[in-house]
Amino acid sequence: MTTPNFESFGLNKALLQALATEGYTTPTPIQAQAIPDVMLGKDLLGIAQTGTGKTAAFALPILHRLAENRVAPLPRTTRCLILSPTRELASQIAESFKTYGKHLGFKVAVVFGGVKYGPQERAIQNGLDVLVATPGRLLDHMQQKTLDLSSTEIFVLDEADQMLDLGFVKPIRQIVSRIPTKRQNLFFSATMPNEIGKLAGELLKDPVKVSVTPQATTVQRINQSVIHVEQGRKRALLTEMFADDNYTRCLVFTKTKHGADKVAAYLEAGGVQAGAIHGNKSQPQRERTLAAFKAGKLRVLVATDIAARGIDVDGVSHVVNFELPFVPEAYVHRIGRTARAGADGSAISFVAGDEMKLLRDIEKVTRQKIPATDRRNDKSLGLLDQSIMAAGVGTKATMPDREDRPRGEGRGRGRNPHRDGVKPEGGGQPHRQRKPAPGRDARPAPERPAFDPMARERPRSTGNNDPRAAVAAKPEGELKRRPRSRRPSNGGKGYVARG
């Protein structure tokens, strides 16, 4: 069977020129199946894992259709609307449309929260060919009547399952109600929960279903592993892992925003260049951190699930799940940040005792057993540097079994060199020996005279309370002048007796 190429699809020549400039020659499986049907104007339901080329799968045929029927957009309208769950993903989708359509001259804009409202309003004012937006800020523009969707021809919902997780189902229905019934609908998602299937059934009309991988499976090129580690030792283990130079560009996922900041600060204190990105960061902060990560100035990017959705960075060597997600499907999105565009990658999950149920849920959804790293067996380490394992940072597996431990090493009361007065191996003075119990060759305690309260002479008061008498009793060399800033306690004479 002949391998298809982009020219065989009959795409616009301007698009083929842009693809050649970017070095794209062979379409991915999702692109090969989706592009022909989308070019014909059919509705489509695409199920593909992140990193498989979903953006180009709908961007190229949409740009082709807009170029075939080129009309000037009306003011405050858009011909194509694309909804994205996060700001970063929206920015990347808009950038892809600009890259592929740079020879077509289309007007492309992106709208999301966290930035000023005015520039977005001015971008929409003259009309757009393609608008990429997040649901919240898009509804704001619709309520302010700065955007009219009555002329929208194509509607795209990307990362539909993440929209469900973020509670955007109701806003999506509000937005769709403003779009003409006669339109083309495209749904793309890495997983397809029942709720998303129900929403797709409401909005799509006789859709073509494209699925390049089974539901909720992970990219085959990702080498996955689990490390069982106590919750309190995760940050130390994470820092030690970066002693291995193979960890060149890493994404670390946490559950909470505060947790992301703490992990990033801990890594920085350990000499690892790290930055955090989450919803509490302003958009300029997020953009600067992401740009530094892409440029290689940061070795580690610590992120939450929401903020990391849509991070498309080439060359991510490792994804570390510092904490497992509550939603099993989020695991698929997390590890999909590596092994993109056919590259290899590794995903490591730190699992504490209270996260075992989450691990079982992930294995059930992905239908695979994630191997655990046996840190006592050097041959099974695989992903981790053996020198790190030798340091013994992390799990209970690094300690010998209870039966193999000699007495006195964490088992029973045994011999304690510090308690028994033996000099420690590392040097230093031995601790004081224990006093033997009475009756066992104990030294007799020295006899002490009985306390006689009248035997001690007590100083007698002379009855003279004049401080000048005490001053006169001291030699001249024993006098001390108080600082002028202090108030003397001897009636302003300025001199007191030392001692």
The per-residue pLDDT for range 390-413, each reduced to its tens digit, is 444 433 333 333 333 444 444 444
How many Å is the Cα radius of gyration of the chain? 36
What is the rounded CA–CA span in Å between residue 497 and residue 478? 7
Higher pLDDT, 416 or 320: 320
pTM of the entire predicted model: 0.60
**Which residues on neighbouring strands pair with residue 132, listed in sequence order?**
82, 110
Domain ranges of the chain: 6-211, 222-400
Contact (CB, 8 A) for 180 and 152: yes
Phi, psi of 87 (to 5 degrees): -65, -45
Higher pLDDT, 69 or 473: 69
Higher pLDDT, 491 or 70: 70
pLDDT for residue 474 is more than 60:
no
Is residue 34 classed as helix, strand or coil in its secondary structure? helix
pLDDT for residue 225 is more than 80:
yes
- List, in order, residues 6 or more apart from 44 with CB less than 8 Å away: 34, 37, 38, 58, 185, 186, 187, 207, 208, 209, 210
- Work out the pLDDT band at 419, boundaries 50, 70, 90: very low
- Work out the pLDDT band at 63, boundaries 50, 70, 90: very high
The burial of 81, by beta-carbon neighbours within 10 Å (0-12 exposed, 13-18 middle, 19 or more buried), is given as buried
Residue with tokens 């190429």: 5
Instruction: Give the Cβ contact number of residue 126 at 10 Å.
Output: 13
What is the rounded CA–CA span in Å between residue 129 and residue 72? 8
Instruction: Give the Cβ contact number of residue 394 at 10 Å.
Output: 24
Same topology, domains 6-211 and 222-400? Answer is yes
Residue with tokens 């998303």: 196
Nearest to 281 by CA among 307, 309, 259, 263: 307
Homologous superfamily assigned to 222-400: P-loop containing nucleotide triphosphate hydrolases (3.40.50.300)
Amino acid 287: pLDDT: 83
What is the rounded CA–CA span in Å between residue 111 and residue 115? 9
**Which residues on neighbouring strands pair with residue 189, listed in sequence order?**
47
In this structure, the chain runs to a length of: 499
What DSSP designation does 229 have? -
Structure tokens at 360: 């079982």
Amino acid 150: pLDDT: 94
Q: What Cα–Cα distance (Å) separates residue 291 from each residue in 277, 299, 311, 472?
A: 11, 12, 11, 79
**Which residues on neighbouring strands pair with residue 38, listed in sequence order?**
none
Q: For 257-304, write each residue's pLDDT tens digit.
A: 899 999 999 999 999 999 999 878 887 888 899 889 989 999 999 998
Average pLDDT over residues 208-215: 75
- Work out the pLDDT band at 384, boundaries 50, 70, 90: very low
Q: For 456-473, write each residue's pLDDT tens digit.
A: 555 555 555 555 555 555
Helices 283-294 + 87-100 axis angle, to 10: 60
pLDDT for residue 60 is more than 70:
yes
Average pLDDT over residues 197-216: 81
- List, in order, residues 6 or more apart from 168 with CB less than 8 Å away: 85, 135
CATH code at 6-211? 3.40.50.300
Amino acid 456: pLDDT: 52
Is residue 250 classed as helix, strand or coil in its secondary structure? strand
Q: Give the pairing of strands 78-83 and 154-157.
A: parallel
Higher pLDDT, 426 or 105: 105
58 CA to centre of own chain? 28
What is the rounded CA–CA span in Å between residue 282 and residue 270? 26
Structure tokens at 305: 């699930």
Amino acid 340: pLDDT: 67
- List, in order, residues 6 or more apart from 14 with CB less than 8 Å away: 67, 101, 103, 104
**Which residues on neighbouring strands pair with residue 108, listed in sequence order?**
130
Q: Give the pairing of strands 154-157 and 184-189.
A: parallel
pLDDT for residue 483 is more than 70:
no
Is residue 130 classed as helix, strand or coil in its secondary structure? strand
Amino acid 279: pLDDT: 78
